[in-house]
Structure 1
């Protein structure tokens, strides 16, 4: 369904009943996806398991992704130039910021009349979740940052193999773009929980048929590069925090998760053997075993 949040149109999926059998509001889990990814990238099995555990699960397409509002008027950013500025420590002026995207997430809670939620973010979504915990701690029951980063300068970067695949140019047309995406996801995926080419093509093809909008990824990428102060601000996060990271992540290395956990007071770090930068079924099982107890242990803040 489409809602109006933070002044823009955002596509939302609201799963599970809002109230339990006794008429009490069910606790909410807000899932925030990563760079260029859509709400359907959260595995159905994961969403259903959270609903079965007693939670109401809210997912949404970030701005410039999926069926949420696209920002064509902001133009196509010069990502290579922004990347050079990042390496030189120069100021980057993004089309919008991760703070703006955190305001979008807060706006989703407002539009659905949700006072508080357990906030879970993956990759860029973890960065947005961190921003949300800093922006509105009273609205966040707990924070879970998955395969993400503090954004601190000097952290390890993607492996050379991943960089080569990411920098390669896809051929022309949707089919070529799908094949390129399959190569990317196979390269950054979990070596301990591998998926077949057919499974990847099905996932990528489903996403492309729902929405294909690559220029939005570029604007989101510049927003990530421009978010230079978050690392030093993470010490101000006061909500219970779980940091989960794949020990075999070739895109955002484990050290990035370790740094995030070190900077957030009281954060718990959990590394998953064989996990890369994706959410295959085996990883989902291990994530749920971490997330559900984390949610249950968080104060209700009534």
Structure 2
């Protein structure tokens, strides 16, 4: 196993969905095929292994490594049944000299879980390792990515390091990191969201009471902010430090002052204070600020309002 990849942990599946977003670097249209891929397509369609395309815009999924090829497409344009053909290429690049040998043919149904099947695709990559029961980390040209049980690339193969995260998959590229949120559809796992790049991302996602809202700390250029479970930046990256008191009060420190932040929208909802502490019963915050040489003490509630 590569030293730059940390794999054997339980992967937490995030069930929050960004409408219309699904990342899969897979199918490509006939117009983008290489000469060898066109030769492969012609061999399969001419010999009735696959339906002949009716449009140059029709897309197909191909994986290859050296002389090994995999070709995947639906049996019909709107069908959920796919044919997956593994082949071995023999011959030069010129199509007339290439001979194709069928190694194996599978029929898979999108919507039916394929347990431990991601390993079927590992021969098309330089290296691989199990990420979870349904995901496989794969390496190509010294970079890592992730495929699901249908061989779909759900994390692009461009990262130096990968590891599980409470929000999905943590990925490092050069000196920056990001999170890929994933969703288990019941039949396969797909990427549903991805965060921006940051200098660092917290390893935990603290829960706020009583809402159950979770936020994760992120850092950039020495400043701190927070993203939500949808990987949207909620708390802007402007704070020297962020703290959570009593599992419900979010405090931000900047310019040597402390302010209460609404964890739902990331907005500041109180005045600035010199010191803030949690009350003994955990229901409000005790505040302190120096005004004209005098220390003024008070207390505020969860909404940042001063209370008697």
**TM superposition score category, shorter chain reference:** under 0.3
Q: Which has the higher contact order (CA 8 A, sep 6+)?
A: 1
User: So what's the TM-score if we normalise by structure 2?
Assistant: 0.21
The answer to which structure has the higher strand fraction is 2
